[in-house]
Structure 1
Amino acid sequence: MAERRLVFKKNAPILAAPETNLFLFAFLLNFVYEVWQSPFYEFYASPSLGDKIIDLTHCAFGDAVIILFSSWVVSALMRSRYWLLTPTWKLTFLFTSIGLLITLAIETYRVNVSKAYGVPVLAVPILGMSALAVIQWIVLPAIILYLARRHMLGYSGQGLQ
């Protein structure tokens, strides 16, 4: 038991890091959201379940990376990686806006320029991207921040001795 606690203590800083928490919650929540919205995309017609899972994982991983980048921008402005422990509505809005703008750019490029996939329904006029992606980036970042914050506060030293 003592060995197990020692290993846990060594890994606690990694588990308590803002980036770890943001990435894990972003990946998990975005993966679930991607599964729910997948029937509205053309790739859903892929013949193989494996192809669908690879596409969904790729999208969720990309969303998690966008969350990390948004966090780093806010961290640079706040000069602290731990801004998410006391987020204001302005910081949350900035964090969400950065992710939304990156998503708008990437999705518009992938749909209209590279033709990586199409959006047969619920397309945003002019941009051609799915409105579901816009909703995703309006709703999920605040939830991800909340979950990451709550998880990090659990590592405040209680029970780690």
Structure 2
Amino acid sequence: MRNVHDPEWKTSASLIGLWALLALTLHLLWEIGQLPFYALWQEGEVWRITLYVMHCVLGDVMIATLTYLAVALIWRQVNWPRQRLWSGGTMLIVMGLGYTVFSEWYNVYRIGSWAYSDAMPLIFGIGITPLLQWLLVPGLMLVLIQRTRIGWSWRKSPTAPLFIFF
């Protein structure tokens, strides 16, 4: 077991924490933005809408973090966005989209946990906004992760990328 005072362990924990924080922030914004595409929005009960958004955002953070960790397990490195951005990012997005397709189908058509409004555009019965969410938000998160110094090994990489701003 690694020592929690080990700089590599701290870097890994910082990277996962940053990922979860980005997931919380960006998925919260997305969930609020896509509310009009769900039937709940038309009911207008603020407390139900708030609970719905909180439930969805916490689920999004969990999905985002677990898919990140799944890619880390596959590549056996927590800072995979540094060395394997495209292959790891593709795996991450495919896993997120796969789960989203199943979850939307199951919750909308199987158990009726939520419903789409008439405004929701559909692809094969699945809402476009949740599909776009799991295509765009993780992509943006990867770009933002790339723009931090967390996870960069300065000893292994003598020239730092020019786009780092932290």
CA contact (8 A) 1:26 1:63 kept: yes
Q: Report what 1:41 is aligned to.
A: 38
Letter of the structure 2 residue corresponding to residue 68 of structure 1: T
CA contact (8 A) 1:15 1:21 kept: no
Tell me, yes or no, if structure 1 residue 110 matches structure 2 residue 90: no
1:124 pairs with one of 122, 125, 144: 122
**Using a 3 Å threshold, how does the CA distance of structure 1 residues 42 and 14 change in structure 2: closer, same or farther?**
farther
Tell me, yes or no, if structure 1 residue 53 matches structure 2 residue 50: yes
Tell me, yes or no, if structure 1 residue 99 matches structure 2 residue 96: yes
Cα offsets for 1:27-83 (capped at 9, x unmatched): 110110111110110111234322211211211111111111111111111101111
Q: How many Å separate the matches in 2 of 1:46 and 1:18?
A: 39
Tell me, yes or no, if structure 1 residue 135 matches structure 2 residue 132: yes
- Give RMSD over aligned pairs: 2.5
Q: How many Å separate the matches in 1 of 2:52 and 2:19?
A: 21
2:62 pairs with one of 55, 60, 65: 65
What residue ranges of structure 2 are gaps of 5+ in the alignment?
Answer: 1-9, 154-166
CA contact (8 A) 2:15 2:150 kept: no
Q: How many Å separate the matches in 2 of 1:79 and 1:88?
A: 14
Cα distance, 1:142 vs. partner?
A: 1.1
State the TM-score, normalizing by the size of structure 2. 0.77
Structure with more helix by fraction: 1
CA contact (8 A) 1:74 1:95 kept: yes
State the TM-score, normalizing by the size of structure 1. 0.79
**Using a 3 Å threshold, how does the CA distance of structure 1 residues 43 and 29 change in structure 2: closer, same or farther?**
same
Instruction: Give the count of matched residue pairs.
Output: 145
Cα offsets for 1:93-128 (capped at 9, x unmatched): 1111111101111111000101011112334343x3
What residue ranges of structure 1 are gaps of 5+ in the alignment?
Answer: 1-12
CA contact (8 A) 2:82 2:151 kept: no
Give secondary structure in 1 for the equivalent of 2:77: coil
CA contact (8 A) 2:108 2:115 kept: yes
Tell me, yes or no, if structure 1 residue 147 matches structure 2 residue 144: yes
Give secondary structure in 2 for the equivalent of 1:117: coil
| Percent of paired sites with the same residue | 22
